[in-house]
Amino acid sequence: MNMNPPPVNSQPIEFVNRLRQEAAHEPTPVSTQAPTKETQIIAIYGKGGIGKSFTLANLSYMMAQQGKKVLLIGCDPKSDTTSLLFGGKACPTIIETSSKKKLAGEAVSISDVCFKRDGVFAMELGGPEVGRGCGGRGIIHGFETLEKLGFHDWGFDYVLLDFLGDVVCGGFGLPIARDMCQKVIVVGSNDLQSLYVANNVCSAVEYFRKLGGNVGVAGMVINKDDGTGEAAAFAANAGIPVLAAIPAHEDIRRKSASYEIIGRPGTTWGPLFEELATQVGLAPPVRPKPQTQDELLGLFSADTVGRNVVLEPATTFDMMGRDDLVKPTLEVIYDAA
């Protein structure tokens, strides 16, 4: 009988080591130089599912119909920013495309990652597969690729960046932290969680302003507005204007669900997005006034948010079913010299 152990396959070990080396590699810092063209770069933040992609698809479409040259960049790992713009079709992401090109020994070109519809240019940065990497790090690598493709020389009137707001890592805060955009717009609704996220974005803007940054908040877009007024009250308290209030209307919900652009001139909802496009272009960046948690809760009724709940301290008996046990400490206490 052969008692020798089977040979160890070294390929998995080499693969793991290669992944570790790649993970340990720090990416090249993203350039913070100003664009060479007169371009407004605007970062749009909001809670996941609040309607950023819906808002941006219709906004960018309307801007293009008004004669503006617009680039829409999806910076959400879900890669769904351009789905409405392209009728539900998946747009190849920069990260996925660059990985495939790298394996093939080829360079990424603009036509590999940038696509257009009716005058709107659009692309998705993308992100790693679930459990296989950091979404924020993917954002950084994505912008590296954009710069290699000449991002700072592109002649757009507007570049709209769609960022997930309920993530606080450095990659998602990149436009604010490194002055990569001139202003920020938050998308929210009349619910506590979306306003909590909007307030976090305002806090990030104010934090980097104190460090010498120049990015400000141009305003808020209220999506799925049911008229209860909490989002408008937040905007007023934070010192930022409401750029548009998109109603919670069944027609909008149905058309959006079927990937239909409603921000078209001459349609029912066209004037709403025409006004939004104008406001987005003209609204100046301002320093917001972030709210405290209690101030946010104060926007809602006590019954809604549980503001009347009293914090009751727990005891050891609650946790263990018996009274406190006093155990001698093993800490060494030295006499004062």
Q: What is the CATH number of the domain that holds 197?
A: 3.40.50.300
Q: Which residue has the higher pLDDT, 22 or 237?
A: 237
When divided into structural domains, the chain yields a total of 1
183 is catalytic: no
Q: Is residue 10 part of a domain?
A: no
Residue 18 falls within a domain, yes or no? no
What's the rounded Cα separation, in Å, for the pair 166 and 172?
Answer: 9
101 pLDDT higher than 50? yes
Is the pLDDT score of 188 beyond 70?
Answer: yes
Given 69, 78, 101, 116, the catalytic residue: 78
User: What pLDDT digit, counting tens, does each position of 1-60 carry?
Assistant: 555 555 545 556 776 666 566 556 554 454 445 444 488 999 999 998 899 999 999 999
Q: What is the pLDDT of residue 158?
A: 95
Please report how many Cα atoms fall inside a 13 Å half-sphere around the Cα of residue 188, on the Cβ side: 30
Percentage of residues in the chain having pLDDT higher than 70: 81
Average pLDDT over residues 66-71: 95
- DSSP states of 255-312: HHHTT-----TTSTTHHHHHHHHHHHHHPPPB---PPPHHHHHTTS-HHHHTTTPPP-
Q: Is residue 261 part of a domain?
A: yes
Compute CA distances 81 → 18, 23, 87, 122, 312, whole Å: 32, 27, 11, 9, 44
State the Cα–Cα distance between residues 204 and 198, nearest whole angstrom. 10
Structural domain contains residue 15: no
Has residue 193 been placed in a domain? yes
Q: Are strands 70-74 and 158-164 parallel, antiparallel or unpaired?
A: parallel
Q: What mean pLDDT do residues 84-110 have?
A: 87
CB 95 within 8 Å of CB 126: yes
Which token pair is 72?
């829409």
Q: Is residue 318 among the annotated active site residues? A: no
> How many C-beta neighbours within 10 Å does residue 191 have?
17
Confidence band, pLDDT 50/70/90 cuts, at residue 176: confident
Instruction: Give CA–CA dist 245/232, Å, rounded.
Output: 9
Look over the chain and give the mean of its residue pLDDT values, rounded to a whole number: 83
Q: Let me know: does 142 contact 97? Beta carbons within 8 Å.
A: no
Question: Considering 118, 153, 162, 166, which one is annotated as catalytic?
Answer: 166
Confidence of residue 323 (pLDDT cuts 50, 70, 90): confident
- Of the candidates 52, 183, 224, 255, the residue annotated as catalytic is 52
**For 266, phi and psi rounded to 5 degrees?**
85, 5
- Is residue 327 part of the annotated active site? The answer reads no
Q: Classify residue 156: in a domain, yes or no.
A: yes
Task: Classify 56 as helix, strand or coil.
Answer: helix
For the chain, list the strands marked E by DSSP. 40-46, 70-74, 115-117, 120-124, 158-164, 183-188, 216-225, 242-247
Asked whether residue 117 carries a pLDDT value surpassing 70, the answer given is yes
In the structure, what pLDDT confidence band is assigned to residue 335 with cuts at 50, 70 and 90?
Answer: confident
Q: Residue 336: what pLDDT?
A: 65
Has residue 324 been placed in a domain?
A: no
Structure tokens at 165: 């707001």
Burial profile 160-181: b = 16 or more Cβ within 10 angstroms, e = fewer:
bbbbbbbbeeebbbbbbbbbbb
Residue 34's pLDDT is what?
47
Q: What is the pLDDT of residue 309?
A: 78
Query: Among 101-105, 130-134, 159-163, 231-235, whose mean pLDDT is lowest?
Result: 130-134
When comparing pLDDT for 63 and 337, which is higher? 63
What is the C-alpha to C-alpha distance for residues 196 and 294, in angstroms, rounded to an integer? 11
- The Cα 69–Cα 122 span in angstroms is 11
Q: Which residue range forms the structural domain that includes residue 246?
A: 31-295
- Residue 37 known to be catalytic: no
Element (H, E) at 103: helix 94-103
pLDDT at position 167, please?
A: 65
- Residue 320, in any domain of the structure: no
Render pLDDT for 193-233 as a digit per residue (tens, 0 to 9).
Answer: 999 999 999 999 999 899 888 999 999 999 999 999 999 99
For residue 36, the model assigns a pLDDT of: 43
